[in-house]
Amino acid sequence: MAHDKCPPNCPWDLEPGQQKSQQEEWTLVNGNEFVRFSKNKHDANWFNVNKNDEIFEQFLSYQARLTYQKLLDKGFTLQS
């Protein structure tokens, strides 16, 4: 059984030298597709994930991390 891997850090992690952690949202792009991650303003344990402005979901923090890594594995890159 394969195990999903979590990234060592995500752009929203509060770590020394992490400059993107204070942003309100983070966007991964791959061609015409994009996925936006943002922290839920009412509960820090949840993330809002919006794909192509069509699909909106809410994930717990660890699920958001796994989704972030899966998208990186599929060729998505973090937009600056």
Answer whether residue 75 shows pLDDT above 90: yes
Which residue ranges make up each domain of the chain? 25-78
Convert the pLDDT of each residue in 34-70 to its tens digit: 999 999 999 989 999 999 999 999 999 999 999 999 9
Between 3 and 8, the more confident residue is: 8
Return the pLDDT at 10.
83
Convert the pLDDT of each residue in 10-28 to its tens digit: 888 776 666 676 788 999 9
* Beta-carbon contacts of residue 25 (< 8 Å; ≥ 6 apart): 36, 37, 38
Distance of alpha carbon 5 from alpha carbon 17, whole angstroms: 23
